[in-house]
């Protein structure tokens, strides 16, 4: 059969949990909040973000150093030197790093500095990249394709799993629909459906999902009640100055409020 199997909840009934070390887990009985800028921009921005995470008890920082931009003239990220700088500062603070890998050749150079490899929505069906990430012994978070179905996301996870890497996280980040009022249509249906179909942890990205700053928090809270294992949210001290995705990025005050409400909401689940 060409159906997915290894990622199926029938194949493994017990939910998968991931151990990132130093007491940081993703999965069952843990709601993971991952925060950070869309793009890593420099030492000061990294330090201020880490301070914000520490102040709020958050252990996982997101950020891109290789950015998939619609226009080739947009900021495309600091590259590997930005990742090295970030890793040095994050490690000192006990913060874990999740960041996007765009191509096979980057895996090896990024490996020492990454805690979770992110596969972006434009690469969900880059099967060569998925095969190679299957040979890595670090967790991989796969985002749903821009026009991808839930089953296509599961097949992408099956690629990585069947190539040898079982440390997987799935991410709903909105899909492209006919609705122009929001950047994407955040498909929260995917959360309970995925939780039923697979044993893998499911994370929601409300930032790219709705794309409108003041509407990110309600969708993050909705993700909790939909059954998500975590959220990944774009945060910047000065969103209006961010190199990318400022329009959907929370400032630190908005972020702290969201974190408090996420924790309160999780208690209700």
The least CB distance from residue 109 to ligand PEP, in Å, is 19
Instruction: Give dist(CA 33, CA 231) in Å, integer.
Output: 5
Answer with the entry of ligand PEP, Mn ion, none that 37 interacts with (C-beta below 5 to 8 A by kind).
none
Can residue 41 be called a binding residue for Mn ion (CB under 5 A)?
no
Answer with the entry of ligand PEP, Mn ion, none that 143 interacts with (C-beta below 5 to 8 A by kind).
ligand PEP
Q: Of these, 183, 197, 208, 236, which contacts ligand PEP (CB under 6 A)?
A: 208
Return contacts of 131-135, CB within 8 angstroms, 24+ apart: 131/159, 131/160, 131/163, 132/104, 132/107, 132/163, 133/101, 133/107, 133/160, 133/163, 133/165, 134/159, 134/160, 134/161, 134/162, 134/163, 134/164, 134/165, 135/163, 135/164, 135/165
As a whole number of Å, the CA-based R_g of the chain is 17
Can residue 245 be called a binding residue for Mn ion (CB under 5 A)?
yes
Segment contacting ligand PEP (CB under 6 A): 18-26, 85-93, 115-123, 247-255? 115-123
In the bound complex, which residue of the shown chain has the CB atom lying closest to ligand PEP? 120
Query: Which x/- pattern over 1-30 shows residues binding ligand PEP (rule: CB under 6 A)?
Result: ------------------------------
Beta strand 202-204 pairing with 168-172: parallel
Answer with the entry of Mn ion, ligand PEP, none that 173 interacts with (C-beta below 5 to 8 A by kind).
ligand PEP
Q: Of these, 27, 36, 64, 77, which contacts ligand PEP (CB under 6 A)?
A: 64
């Amino acid at each position: 059969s060409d159906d997915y199997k290894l990622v199926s909840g029938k194949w493994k009934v017990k939910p998968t949990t991931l151990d990132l070390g130093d007491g940081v887990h993703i999965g069952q009985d843990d709601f993971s909040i991952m925060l950070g800028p869309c793009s890593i921009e420099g030492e000061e921005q990294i330090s201020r973000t880490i301070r914000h995470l520490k102040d709020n008890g958050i252990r996982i920082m997101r950020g891109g150093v290789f950015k998939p931009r619609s226009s080739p003239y947009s900021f495309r990220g600091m590259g590997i030197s930005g990742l090295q700088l970030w890793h040095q500062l994050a490690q000192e603070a006990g913060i874990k790093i999740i960041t996007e890998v765009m191509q096979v050749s980057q895996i090896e150079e990024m490996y020492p500095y990454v805690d979770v490899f992110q596969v972006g929505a434009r690469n969900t069906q880059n099967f060569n990249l998925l095969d190679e990430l299957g040979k890595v012994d670090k967790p991989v978070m796969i985002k749903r394709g821009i026009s991808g179905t839930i089953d296509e996301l599961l097949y992408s996870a099956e690629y990585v799993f069947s190539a040898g890497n079982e440390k997987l996280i799935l991410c709903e980040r909105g899909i492209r629909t006919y609705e122009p009022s929001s950047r994407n249509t955040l498909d929260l249906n995917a959360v309970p459906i995925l939780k039923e179909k697979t044993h893998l942890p499911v994370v929601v990205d409300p930032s790219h999902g709705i794309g409108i700053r003041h509407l990110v928090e309600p969708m993050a809270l909705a993700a909790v009640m939909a059954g998500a294992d975590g959220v990944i949210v774009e945060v910047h001290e000065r969103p209006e100055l961010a190199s990318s995705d400022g329009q959907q990025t929370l400032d630190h005050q908005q972020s702290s409020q969201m974190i408090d409400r996420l924790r309160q909401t999780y208690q209700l689940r």
